[in-house]
Amino acid sequence: MHLMKDAAVCLLSGGLDSCVTTTLAKQHHSKIHALSFSYGQHHTKELKCAQKIAETLELDEHLIIELDLTPLGGSTLFSSSKNAIQNHELNSIGNSIPNTYVPARNTIFLSIALGLAETREADTIYIGANAVDYSGYPDCRPEYLSAFQAMANLATKRAIQGDRIEIKAPLLKMSKKDIIKTGIKNDAPLQYSWSCYRGEEKACGHCDSCQLRLKGFNDAGYQDPIEYNDYPAWYKQQ
C-alpha cells in the first residue's frame, strides 16, 4: 500500500512516457488533474490518445488547453501538412538537437501546469521528461528541471505562503526499455499511447519516435500493443 498524497497535476501528451508517468502518479495521489495541449502539433492523434488514457485511468479531470504555438515557428512538428514532412526531417537523432524540438515547450507546459496546480491545490506536478533517449532536448535535462523548480518556488501565491509545488519526472533517467517494463508492471494503458510523429491511422514505424519505441519494446522483450504500417528491418516480432 502506498501512502496517498493529495492532488497532483500530470502533463499528459498521450505519448508513451506521459502514459507511464501518469499511471505511476495515480498510485500516489488521491486526485489527478491531467493537462494536455492542442498547440499546433500535426499529430493531434496524440490528443485522442491522451483522452483514452485519462478515461482508462479514471482520472478526476482532463483539461485540454488550446494554445496555438505555430506563430512561434521553429519546429518540424508545426508543418502545416503532414504529407510535406520528409522522412529526413523526422530522423534527426544524432544531430546535436532534433528538428522536432519545439522552442521552450516544456517551460511553457510546466508553467501552465504550475498555474493549474495552484488553483487545484495540487502539491505535485508530474512530467514524463526523459534525459536518456532524447538527450538533445535542453528542457529534458535534470539541471533544467532543478532550475524550473527553484523558479516555481518563488512564482506563486502558494509559494509565498510557504507551500511548495514539487516537480517530479520519475522517468528522467530511465532507458526506454525500463520505461516500458515499468509501464507493463504497473498496468499502464500502453495500447492507447501514441509516439509516431505522423498522425496517421497506424504508426509509421520509421520516424525517430517510432524507432525508439520499437527498440524499447524489443529490448524489454514485449510486443508493442499498437498497430504499425510497417516495421524497421531490424525489428523482431516478439
Kindly list the residues in this chain that would bind its own copies in the complex (CB under 8 A): 63, 65-69, 71-74, 96-97, 101-108, 110-112, 114-116, 118-119, 138-139, 141, 143-144, 147-148, 150-157, 159-160
Measured from the CB atom, the residue of 104 and 132 that comes closer to its own copies is 104
Pairing state between β 8-11 and 32-38: parallel
- The answer to whether the CB of 99 falls within 8 A of the CB of 76 is yes
Please name the residue that has the C-alpha cell 515557428.
73
28 and 8 Cβ atoms separated by less than 8 Å? yes
For its own copies, give the closer residue by CB, 100 or 182.
100
- Please state the closest distance from residue 87 (CB atom) to its own copies, in A: 22
**In the complex, least distance from residue 61 CB atom to its own copies, rounded to whole angstroms:** 9
* Cβ 48 to its own copies shortest distance, Å: 19
Cβ closer to its own copies: 169 or 203?
169
Name the residue among 51, 81, 95 with its Cα closest to residue 194: 51
The order of strands in the sheet holding 8-11 is 32-38, 8-11, 124-126, 166-168
Residue with smaller CB distance to its own copies, 107 or 229? 107
- In whole angstroms, how close is the CB of 99 to its own copies at the nearest point? 11
Min separation Cβ 137 and its own copies, Å = 9
3-class DSSP state of 36: strand
Q: Long-range contacts: 51-55, Cβ < 8 Å, 24+?
A: 51/14, 52/189, 52/192, 53/12, 53/14, 53/18, 53/19, 53/22, 53/189, 53/192, 53/193, 54/12, 54/22
Nearer to its own copies, 138 or 232 (CB): 138
Q: Which is nearer to its own copies, 60 or 178 (CB)?
A: 60
Euclidean distance between CA atoms 232 and 211, whole angstroms: 7
| Cα gap 121→219, rounded to integer Å | 40
- Closest contact distance (angstroms) between CB of 168 and its own copies is 17
